[in-house]
């Protein structure tokens, strides 16, 4: 499984994904689930993926092919698409096609499926973030719901529900997604280190900060322990 | 949906269930999901249920019928069964039969199903707690895993993972299950107040404390807010 989370805040966007992929419990590997596409100063697009690796890899490869094609048009390339909404549509359509192709091959009732988070901004446009469902349709993050999650999303949702608001700072937002991931890592074996963290500042039109957090990362371990201590202390102080 | 949680601790057992049932979003009702069966001083059995109401109600009714029957035997009545393991088997078998009956009526590929937590102790035996799967098989809580959950279990698992150990006191255990439920209520609309809380002290062979927590409960609200404050304070103090 997977856990990916994206925050759409007044100051910018924060995205975090794990890297664990498994086909059965004894075939666990590390795959990047976060992909960024930039035309610096013009647009930045970040895609995170969850679900069947065969579907997500093929979808990303198709999108890349369309971008690299000599005859790329605003109708086919997410780097040329006139709006972020159009980008989400392109990703959704590609995901839907790939899924159908693979489903036909598998000929199973419960075929391969995948979902994605697409976050980005183009010059002159607003920051936008979309969750693309396996069927290719999508929803968008809003002021009321400034975060989107895919994969094993439930363990890490309570902390986000409590602390993430549009006015949350990018610094606090990084803390929030890392603690949300920490709760997920502790409670679910199928989500694993290393992690990919990316921050896109509003109107910067590029991925400003990108960090891979490895399994032995001292800062992450310290934060995780500080959070455990804070939770236990808070728990001890509460009276019923 | 549902959220039920049971803790098996050195000092006793703590069980908590919500009461929301829905058949579609506009048909929400309150149903008790916690059922207790006692022969005071001889045995106490507590059953919590999740899943299709038609399955769980019929299963509980069948178990009750078997207990009330003039010719009840240790093979048919959970009040006469020689061990708690036998009780779990009886509940599992009944659940499995009822499910198959209803599945046949529904004739659907994705039929009705339900799961249950069975907690209890009989005179001379140890406290035991079982999670019964829809198919009727079950697992048991142990020293390493002193809690079981059914229904929407993911939101409320991180807090349990962090604070519940076999040596946790019954007082702290009540706090833990209530905070676990609080996280679930905040993050998932399909789990709802009122709540049923029960505490069985070790070797007491009866439900020592039983409490229904209504939607407006002042103590629960205060605890929920204190926990929110503790989380936010803890979050603010953490540095990355």
* Residue A26: predicted pLDDT: 64
* B228 contact residues in A (CB cutoff 8 A): 162
* Residue B19: predicted pLDDT: 86
* Residue B80: predicted pLDDT: 95
ipTM, two decimals, is 0.76
Span of A222-226, B102-106, B152-156 with lowest mean pLDDT: B102-106
With CA atoms as reference, the chain B residue closest to A219 would be B240
Distance CA B166, CA B173 (A): 10
All domains of chain A, ordered by start, with CATH?
3-232 (3.60.20.10)
Do residue B234 and residue A239 have CB atoms under 8 angstroms apart? no
* Residue-wise pLDDT tens digits, B114-137: 899 999 999 999 999 999 988 888
Mean pLDDT, chain B, whole residue set = 89
* Residue-wise pLDDT tens digits, A52-81: 888 898 999 999 999 999 999 999 999 999
Answer whether residue B189 shows pLDDT above 90: no
Distance CA A143, CA A8 (A): 8
Query: Which residues, listed in sequence order, are joined to residue B197 by a DSSP beta bridge?
Result: B16, B211
* Residue A100: predicted pLDDT: 86
pLDDT-derived band at B5 (thresholds 50, 70, 90) equals: very high
pLDDT-derived band at B31 (thresholds 50, 70, 90) equals: confident
On whether any CB of chain B is under 8 Å from the CB of A157, the answer is yes
* Residue B28: predicted pLDDT: 66
On whether any CB of chain B is under 8 Å from the CB of A221, the answer is no
Segment 178-197 of chain A within 8 Å of chain B by CB: 178-179, 183, 186-188
Q: Which tokens is A74 given?
A: 């605003």
On whether any CB of chain A is under 8 Å from the CB of B211, the answer is no
* Residue-wise pLDDT tens digits, B99-119: 888 887 776 555 677 899 999
The full 3-state SS of chain B, as one line of letters, equals CCEEEEEECCCEEEEEECCEEECCCCCEEECCCEEEEEECCCEEEEEEEEECHHHHHHHHHHHHHHHHCCCCCCCCCCCCCCCHHHHHHHHHHHHHHHHHHHHHHHCCCCCCCEEEEEEEEECCCCCEEEEECCCCCEEECCCCCCEEEEECCCCCHHHHHHHCCCCCCHHHHHHHHHHHHHHHHHHCCCCCCCEEEEEEECCCCCCCEEEEECCCCHHHHHHHHHHHHHHHHHHHHCCC
On whether any CB of chain B is under 8 Å from the CB of A176, the answer is yes
* Residue A192: predicted pLDDT: 87
Span of A104-108, B178-182, B194-198 with lowest mean pLDDT: A104-108
């Amino acid at each position: 499984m997977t856990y990916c989370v994206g925050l759409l805040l007044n100051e910018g966007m924060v995205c975090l994904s794990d890297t664990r992929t498994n086909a059965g419990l004894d075939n666990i590997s590390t795959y990047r689930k976060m992909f960024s596409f930039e035309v610096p100063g013009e647009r930045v697009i970040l895609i995170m993926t969850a679900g069947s690796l065969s579907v997500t890899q093929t979808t990303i490869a198709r999108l890349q092919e369309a971008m690299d094609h000599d005859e790329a048009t605003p109708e086919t390339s997410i780097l040329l698409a006139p709006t972020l909404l159009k980008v989400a549509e392109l990703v959704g359509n590609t995901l839907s096609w790939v899924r159908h192709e693979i489903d036909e091959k598998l000929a199973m009732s419960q075929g391969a499926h995948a979902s994605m988070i697409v976050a980005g901004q183009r010059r002159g446009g607003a920051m936008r973030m979309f969750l693309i469902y396996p069927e290719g349709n999508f929803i968008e993050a809003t002021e009321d719901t400034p975060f989107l999650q895919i994969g094993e999303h439930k363990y890490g949702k309570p902390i986000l529900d409590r602390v993430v608001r549009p006015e949350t700072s990018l610094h606090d937002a990084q803390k929030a997604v890392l603690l949300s991931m920490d709760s997920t890592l502790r409670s679910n074996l199928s989500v694993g280190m290393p992690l990919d963290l990316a921050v896109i500042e509003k109107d910067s039109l590029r991925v400003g900060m990108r960090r891979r957090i490895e399994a032995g990362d001292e800062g992450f371990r310290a934060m995780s322990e500080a959070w455990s201590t804070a939770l236990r202390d808070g728990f001890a102080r509460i009276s019923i």
